A = this chain, B = another copy of it.
Amino acid sequence: MRIAVDAMGGDLAPAEIVAGVLAAAARWTDTEFILVGDQDAIRTQFGHQPQRVNIAVHHAPDVIGMEDDPARAVRRKPNSSLVQACRLVAEGSAEAIFSAGNTGAAAAAALFTIGRLDGVQRPAIAVVLPARSESGKVIVCDAGANVDCKPEWLAQFATMGAMYAEGIEGITNPRVGLLNIGEETCKGNALSKAAHALLENAGHNWVGNVEAKAVMRGIADVITCDGFDGNLVLKVAESTAEYTMSMLKDAFGSSLMAKLGGLLARSSLRGLKRKVDYTEYGGAVLLGIKGLVIIGHGCSPANAVVAALGRARTGLQNGLVSRMADHFAAIQAA
């Protein structure tokens, strides 16, 4: 198994990316990691550590920034670390790619360079959120790749999200739901009503509409939606968690008693912080591409990089992409 890693993508690149790869390479010796980016910048990060046999460096002089316009940057910077990493997958030199850079650019580079699976109408981004379910997580798909959707696309997002849940997140027979503003079948806008009609007979372990307030309650393992709405849900969840934690920090600083209380409860509170900390959840996945595409949070520290690479490895072990290819090819043939 070979995973191409965009060493220059993200706010903490290349230091945290390389540190994550070093840790991952030590843990998973059956996997080869190809660090793509400025070779000097990468090698500087190795420091005095001997280079592991399962780490390779592929030089790419350019970098696509977090603020660059995705499609334009991908077209204009063929020698960027991101495009070059995708090229390794397109050529068959790697089976997966990880980038913590510009999400839009990563999606565009993967789509243009590696290409869409036959039968997939639109690739979609799947993201994992914490939830009060047995698995402790819920997958939202599409989380932002497609802003104006057709009902048929949402049906495909559900299929891809469910295959991802089984193939990478280890959730057997995942429960699939549709993001909506009410539980009843009659609720929603034109898009969600039409998607509901398609999904209820699609052969999933179908739980119906899922209200936004129930997303984290764990009543579904996979929730399909328009990328505009998925992005809203994701960002609001992230910011509310941040807001509540910052209020908590203020509360513990508000009096001497509170400070002392915070000190006593410190290790438990650290556990809480970890539960609501998105960097622990690894990264998003772009589904529907002829290769496994993992996109990390822009500020991914080394531990998040390791988590994301671990998920890429699981996906490769379980043959997620070839299963997805077979599924959509069979539907097209029928």
Q: Chain B: which residue is nearest A192 at the CB level?
A: B228
Nearest chain B CB to A251's CB is how many angstroms away?
A: 4
Partner of A237, one of B192, B231, B236, B267: B236
> Do A217 and B241 touch (CB < 8 A)?
no
The number of times this chain is found in the oligomer is 2
> Is A264 part of the contact surface with B, judged by Cβ < 8 Å?
yes
Nearest chain B CB to A291's CB is how many angstroms away? 25
B254, A264: Cβ atoms closer than 8 Å: no
Closest 6 CB pairs of A and B: A261-B265, A261-B264, A212-B235, A240-B240, A213-B235, A258-B268
Where the two chains meet, the residues of A that have a C-beta atom closer than 8 Å to any C-beta of B are: 69, 130, 132, 144, 147-148, 179, 181, 186, 188-190, 192, 211-217, 226-229, 231-241, 243-245, 247-248, 250-252, 254-255, 257-258, 260-269, 271-272, 275-276
Chain B residue at smallest Cβ distance from A232: B212
Residues of B within 8 A of A144 (CB): 181
- The DSSP consensus for interface residues of chain A is helix
Which residues of B sit under 8 angstroms from A267, Cβ to Cβ? 255, 257-258
Given the contacts A216-B239, A231-B212, A235-B211, A247 and B275 also touching, CB distance less than 8 Å:
yes
Residue of B nearest to A190 (CB): B148
- Chain B residue at minimum C-beta to C-beta distance from A132: B243
B258 contacts A243, C-beta separation under 8 Å: no
Inter-chain contact A232/B181, CB cutoff 8 Å: yes
Contacts of A255 in B (CB 8 A): 267-268
Residue in chain B with minimal CB distance to A104: B182
Chain B residue nearest to A239 in the complex (CB) = B213
**A271 with B251: CB separation less than 8 A:** yes
In the assembled complex, the CB of A78 is this many whole angstroms from the nearest CB of chain B, namely 23
Residues of chain B lying within 8 A (CB to CB) of residue A214: 239
